Amino acid sequence: MATTRPATSPPDLMSVRHKVSAALTRFLDAKDEAAPGAELLYLTSTLRAFLTGGKRLRSVLCVYGWQAAGGDGEMTAAIRAAASLELFQVFALVHDDVMDDSDVRRGRPSAHRALAAAYTDNGGPHGRAAAHGLGAAVLLGDLALVWSDEFLHTAGLDPHRLAQVLPLVAEMRSEVMYGQLLDLQTTGRLTGDVETALHVIRYKTAKYTVERPLHIGAAVAGAPPAVLDACTAFGIPLGEAFQLRDDLLGVFGDPGKTGKPVLDDLREGKATVLMALAVQRASRAERKTLSGLVGRSDLDEGQAAEIRAVLDSTGARQTVEEKITARRDEALAALDEAPFPEETTDQLREIALAATERQT
Amino acid sequence: MATTRPATSPPDLMSVRHKVSAALTRFLDAKDEAAPGAELLYLTSTLRAFLTGGKRLRSVLCVYGWQAAGGDGEMTAAIRAAASLELFQVFALVHDDVMDDSDVRRGRPSAHRALAAAYTDNGGPHGRAAAHGLGAAVLLGDLALVWSDEFLHTAGLDPHRLAQVLPLVAEMRSEVMYGQLLDLQTTGRLTGDVETALHVIRYKTAKYTVERPLHIGAAVAGAPPAVLDACTAFGIPLGEAFQLRDDLLGVFGDPGKTGKPVLDDLREGKATVLMALAVQRASRAERKTLSGLVGRSDLDEGQAAEIRAVLDSTGARQTVEEKITARRDEALAALDEAPFPEETTDQLREIALAATERQT
């Protein structure tokens, strides 16, 4: 059991990121080589560009989950499982940007915009560029999704261990799609419904970004239920805190650091906990400001400043900060009880602090 | 080995279709019951509507592939594998309609149109309906894709057998996406490139609709390589013939029978073998007709009749008919050599004739 045995030479953040990147590059190189035609390079090159960005948070958590369950030594399978999560994340981002019609992702054009530009660069008619970009991005996302599967299936797990991992992956995927659906249904409807907003981030982020990567890594190492439960006790509050921080950065962040325009969430009318709290507490005049401006696709910086003032004056921003702190502390307390090797506990503690205090 | 042993009570078409439908209903019922919120019913009800249509061709071929490899008796795993292909097909159709911006599928509104209508019916603002419908349809397709996986993983196959099936599924999925990509890149560009058009249908249809369903069913029964090879020898020419027939029906078919408006392919400027042959052989005047009309989104019935006249006068239609016959005969000849039980050979022969002579 993992409780007492310390993992030998625990992998550090940088080495996990590096190994995952190398595994992804090898996988895509093999795909390019086996491609039935050169056309596919058009998609894989866009995929590569997307995979170079990102914090690799899910990868790191997956490998730490593996370690939490006593995994040590040869970590190829854990790295491949982690890399498969990164491909899945590209799928989620690309389709998310299509659904939200976002122009920018990670400081660069979103996939459908990049593919539309590539189309006209290659001589395609301008009139079809937007439709082509959208279609190609849907397809790129689909490809990333099925390749994420293939990566996992060929991770070198023995069939019985793979059969243990697959149900967790299936849960994760259904959950993130349920979260997306909630997001889609609530976006653009300004309400004071904090409960629903919390429900969305539980599915869309807490489970997807933190709990399930830990679970999947743990299952790769053959984790017993107690380890999976401890991953949940740590992962859910941390994941919620992570998303609450993201929502604050989406409105108050520095676009130069986050790589995402700071007006997008407000223009979309994203139904965040932050916004729901503000609506709940707003005066008549403040409510009028919110309902008049939030969700306007032509929102300018001055109008955004008016919204930000309401998020401050209602105390919504402050309450979200408090919620982040409470959840972070809950996650840290869960770690103290977790049957993980000490090194893993230390590393997860660092991640919990970084993820909740970050500015990007 | 399957060569000599006849399968006992081979499943007929109707019983396969019925069993697959029942398995799909049970799966979606369980999903609805386990749903974390009522919102999901919105997607699953659309999914159910989609699953009621269709010929279940892939399902039937999957079960016959299983039988071809000696499967008999208890067919639960083969039926679940077949049902998983139907869910995958819903994914492919829903995303395909998004990419092509098609209004109609199987005689009903396409998913993004149906979901846009449901959005306004539920009080959503009209201005957001199209964007919502598109986003929800992308998501619906994604969900169908991940559930098709889950269905297969829980088909009751032992882990080693599942490990034999998964690579074939991975191949199928990559192939259909490569075919989609080619389709996307060639649509709207009028050329006389028959080779490329044939390359597209090999990937988009022949492998996906015929060869791989046979392979996957065969692998469920633990097929040896000789059986898989025989599936290929039969499946590729039949699949090409099937798509060539589809292309003819897409232009000359009766919309009352096919459930698809007969102007769509021409309005999209679909780069079919039929069209490439016509371009290749067209006189100056005929070429002018084609380049002036094919791909016009406002094409009317009179203009479509002008295009059809060119497809006839150039002999393109007749050549496609001949190609269908040649491929059908090739498929039938391959059956004569195949190491399949006699009942299976008979059933596949019937399918080959029906698929190439059909009017719907």
Q: Which tokens in the block code for residue B161?
A: 């057998």
DSSP conformation class of B125: -
Q: Which long-range contacts (CB under 8 A, 24 or more apart) does B135-138 make?
A: B135/A98, B135/A99, B135/A100, B135/A184, B136/A181, B136/A184, B136/B42, B136/B43, B136/B111, B136/B112, B137/B94, B137/B95, B137/B97, B137/B98, B137/B110, B137/B111, B137/B112, B138/A95, B138/A98, B138/A99, B138/A138, B138/A141, B138/B95, B138/B98
pLDDT at B301: 92
User: Closest partner residue to A146 among B159, B173, B184, by Cβ?
Assistant: B173
The B residues from 28 to 87 touching A (CB cutoff 8 Å) are: 35-37, 39-40, 42-43
Q: Which tokens in the block code for residue B213?
A: 């369903």
| pLDDT tens-place string over residues B292-301 | 999 998 999 9
Distance to chain A for B328, nearest Cα, Å? 25
| C-alpha to C-alpha distance for A157 and A162, rounded to whole angstroms | 6
pLDDT at A183: 84
pLDDT at A10: 55
pLDDT at B360: 73
Q: Which pLDDT tens digits describe chain B residue by residue (360 residues)?
A: 344 444 445 567 788 999 999 999 999 999 999 888 787 888 899 899 888 877 899 999 999 999 999 998 889 999 999 999 999 999 999 999 998 888 877 778 889 999 999 888 888 888 888 888 999 999 999 999 999 999 999 998 999 999 999 999 999 999 999 888 888 888 778 899 999 999 999 998 999 999 999 999 999 999 999 999 999 999 999 999 999 999 999 999 887 777 667 788 899 888 899 999 999 999 999 999 999 999 998 999 999 999 999 999 999 999 999 999 999 999 999 999 999 999 999 999 999 999 998 877
| C-alpha to C-alpha distance for A175 and A208, rounded to whole angstroms | 7
Mean pLDDT of chain B: 90
Instruction: Give one DSSP letter per residue of B284-306, joined into a string.
Output: HHHHHHHHHHTT-TT--HHHHHH
Check A139 against B182: CB less than 8 A apart. no
**Which residue ranges make up each domain of chain B?**
13-357
Check B149 against A170: CB less than 8 A apart. yes
| Contact (Cβ atoms closer than 8 angstroms) between residue B204 and residue B183 | yes
Check B145 against A146: CB less than 8 A apart. yes
| C-alpha to C-alpha distance for A99 and B134, rounded to whole angstroms | 7
B336 exposure class (CB count in 10 Å sphere: 0-12, 13-18, 19+): exposed
| C-alpha to C-alpha distance for B329 and A96, rounded to whole angstroms | 47
Give percent of chain B above pLDDT 70: 96
Check B153 against A135: CB less than 8 A apart. no
A to B CB pairs, distance under 8 Å: 129
Q: Which pLDDT tens digits describe chain A residue by residue (360 residues)?
A: 344 444 445 567 788 999 999 999 999 999 999 888 787 888 899 899 888 877 899 999 999 999 999 998 889 999 999 999 999 999 999 999 998 888 877 778 889 999 999 888 888 888 888 888 999 999 999 999 999 999 999 998 999 999 999 999 999 999 999 888 888 888 778 899 999 999 999 998 999 999 999 999 999 999 999 999 999 999 999 999 999 999 999 999 887 777 667 788 899 888 899 999 999 999 999 999 999 999 998 999 999 999 999 999 999 999 999 999 999 999 999 999 999 999 999 999 999 999 998 877
- A181 and chain B in contact, CB less than 8 A: yes
Q: Which residues pair with B108 in a beta bridge?
A: B105
Compute, in degrees rounded to 10, the torsion defined by CA atoms A115, A120, A125, A129.
30
| pLDDT tens-place string over residues B274-320 | 999 999 999 999 999 999 999 998 999 999 999 999 999 999 999 99
DSSP conformation class of B12: P
The A residues from 220 to 249 touching B (CB cutoff 8 Å) are: none
pLDDT at A1: 39
- A167 and chain B in contact, CB less than 8 A: yes
pLDDT at B41: 86
CATH dotted code for A13-357: 1.10.600.10
| Contact (Cβ atoms closer than 8 angstroms) between residue B324 and residue B311 | no
Check B145 against A145: CB less than 8 A apart. yes
Check A181 against B147: CB less than 8 A apart. no
- B167 and chain A in contact, CB less than 8 A: yes
Residues in A touching B160 (Cβ below 8 Å): 159
Distance to chain A for B177, nearest Cα, Å? 7
Check A153 against B167: CB less than 8 A apart. yes
Rounded to the nearest 10 degrees, the angle between the axes of helix B40-52 and helix A159-186 is: 110
Q: Which residues pair with A339 in a beta bridge?
A: none
| pLDDT tens-place string over residues B230-285 | 999 999 999 999 999 999 999 998 877 776 677 888 998 888 999 999 999 999 99
User: Closest partner residue to B170 among A139, A153, A173, by Cβ?
Assistant: A153
Nearest to A42 by CA among A119, A142, A155: A119
Distances (CA, A) of A111 to A255, A281, B266, B296: 19, 38, 29, 27
